[in-house]
Structure 1
Amino acid sequence: MFTQWFELNKQDPKARNLTYAKIPKEYIWNNDAKEWAPRKLRPSIGRIVYSNPAFGERYYLRMLLNIVKGPRSFEELRTVDGAQLRDLFVTMLLFYNITNPLKLWEQHWEDLADDILHKKRKIINFPDLTLTDSQIKNYCLVEIQGVLHKHEKSLSDFPSLPQPDESLLTQLDNRLIREELNYNIKEMKNLHDNLFRSLNTEQLALYERLIKAVTNQEGGLYFLYGPGGTGKTFLYNTILTKLRSEEMIALAVASSGIASLLLPGGRTAHSRFVIPLELMENSTCGIKQKTHLAALMHEARLIIWDEAPMTQRYAFEVLDKTLRDILGSKNEANRQKLFGGTPLKYWIKL
């Protein structure tokens, strides 16, 4: 019956869309002719005899028969795109006496996580997404945890194995956050070091004051005034590369589209904060609680706003009101802080 299934798949394209267990639904076994024939009466339910993982090759053959459709030979049967290695890893944890699960994980985590980056790029529709090894490992552990839960088990049942940090998932699945973190850390550090060495005394004092405010989460409003050519752009590039090299989120916005193009990773303020075009005293930004944009506001450590005087004062008032509301949802004290406690730095060009 098994080998004649290969012959059936060679001759009948319809059979090639079925796994071995599904064949009896559409075909019947003719014991005299030793062949499969199309079923004419009511369908039948097929099943494959249970095989314990300890049976080795027979068990893995059974796994393949539940996945592969229409093979015409043993070679086609054993060739599977995207083999379920994480399921196999869980099977080994559950049914084999693995003496050193951690060593097994460390030796094969790259194979187990081979499709993680591709899946995440597809899920969040971000083809240029990059993930660090630690992030990929975390996602892989979460996937393994999900398979274990189906068996009413958990990674905590295997103390030697690393545990997934599920608090990272909201950030990793949030495209807006990923875009703001999608910088080459090594390049950012090198660029920052080069810029930092060229700061003059006044720029260095401003740099240290603002970095301290961000590091200590002091919040506050800072206003930098100076004519063109005094090094404002140079300074905020230094600040941005410093924070981004340490995987912090710093939002760079401007009052006009042209000015935003001059900022690394810049956006217009109206676009980033969903500020209404027709501003009134009681207006609010269109940022809703528990959205990806709201999560981005929670993660932002600094906002740099270029050409601030070109914007109506209501824009800053609605942003202040919105950030107090959003950031205050997790920490009530933020409702009393300017811009919810996020350091905001105004920049102007003359």
Structure 2
Amino acid sequence: MQKGDRNPSNIGKAIILPASFTGSKRYMTQYFKDSLEICRTLGHPSLFLTMTTNTKWPEIQHMLKHMPGVDVADAPDVVARDFKMKVDQLIDMIKKKNCFGRCVGVMHVIKFQKHGLPHTHILIWLHPDDRPKTIEQIDKMVSAEIPDPEIDPVGYNAVSNYMIHGPCGSDYTKSPCMVKERLLIYLPGEKHVSFKAGDVLEDVCDKAISKKTKLEAWFDANQTFPNARNYSYSEFPNKFTWHPRPGIWKERKRGEVIGRLSEVHSSRKKGSRSFEDLKTVNGHIHETFKEACAALSLLQNDNQWHEAIVENSHTSLPLQLRAMFVNILAYIPISDPLRLWEVNWQCMSNDILIIRRHMLNDPHLYLSDEDLKNYALAEIEKLFNDIGKSLKDYATMPFPSEVYFSNAVNRLLQEETSYDKEELEILHEKNHGMLNPEQKNVYDSIIQNVYNKVVVFSMYMEVEDAARHFCGRHYVIAIVQKEILCFMLPHVE
């Protein structure tokens, strides 16, 4: 729009499979997050139930009679359909017929065993009053033994033929008995907007501004309903219902649902009325949402990774520690990468000075802490590049300038810009008191021009000795004869 392009069709078309498309990435992500939220809300499940396909089910055998020469392994569609009907029937018995007691939640996952038969794992949440609490109640539901063939031949045949199998796993989660309210979140200025090809972008923007999202409507509800301020955003659907057309929340009259925030696990902030209010903790407005989360103790603790680096620093080389640092940042969700670097940078750069001295063949080379950090960061960036990442992927991490990546070193520049400032300051104080009046005059003139940012200047004085002065943060080369020409080279920091 800023370039005058008002046709959205010129932007291109992205194909995104929605959450309603079974098996898509968004579908899997949505149900995975729903399952976590159900566990967080309802607690641990009461029962765990498994069910495996039986190829001798009469429905399957009946269909195979109409397919001459076809084995069960050649008819996966028949097996899958029959299994799906059996699963639906079992869940109906659990939810509606209360075969185990009053059911408040069900989740199940379907997978295919190595030999191709469908298999399901089911988690069941019972009403607190119906949960088994005694040994006798549990024994009525669960039998963890093979029945005696003489006492219970039917049970023995069923268990021995159909209930002995290998270990089970899970591929995806579902919760069909629970009504979910998916709550979107976004940063200020990043509101989700959808439009169709041919729409005028100005109209799209106007519509986005006028139409309230669930988050914006939550802000408004906290201003309108005093009772609403007692609930966080994730708790809000328990007491309020969302009406999409007017874009408002209304108090819930009956029933309960579980709210789940996209991209975050839960929210503790209650009664927020704006984005700025979300960043306010104990009366202090933080600059970022991350800082506000840290103040609320919502961020994970990085102490174990600090301890890991410190522990390994006693037995590992700096190169190995840098590789460890890269692996931690690349594969572990660290809450504060910058602090991990600032606290541990020294053990990761202990070899830098030795390497640079060897490269320059200068055993007296001095590098400041800033130089050591940047050379170490350059080595870390090279390690990141090997795995297709970069320090730039981490917003808070510093990035060294190009000069620290170059192997071709200007030795003169390195020597003139690598010196011990503290040692030179002591030498300066010692020699300054030994200056005669004429030398003092030259010194004062040089310092004045230095602070006035004069790059090249000439002076004349009647002296017979050569003079060299190291002054503060700048290095002056003076060739003294009857006429002295001074060249000032600013120190490169």
Task: Please indicate, yes or no, whether the TM-score normalized by the shorter chain is above 0.5.
Answer: no
The TM-score bracket by the shorter chain reads 0.3 to 0.5
Looking at CA atoms only, which structure, 1 or 2, has the larger radius of gyration?
A: 2
Q: Which TM-score applies when normalising by structure 2?
A: 0.31
Q: Which TM-score applies when normalising by structure 1?
A: 0.43
Which one has the bigger helix percentage? 1
The structure showing larger relative contact order (alpha-carbon pairs under 8 Å, at least 6 residues apart) is 1
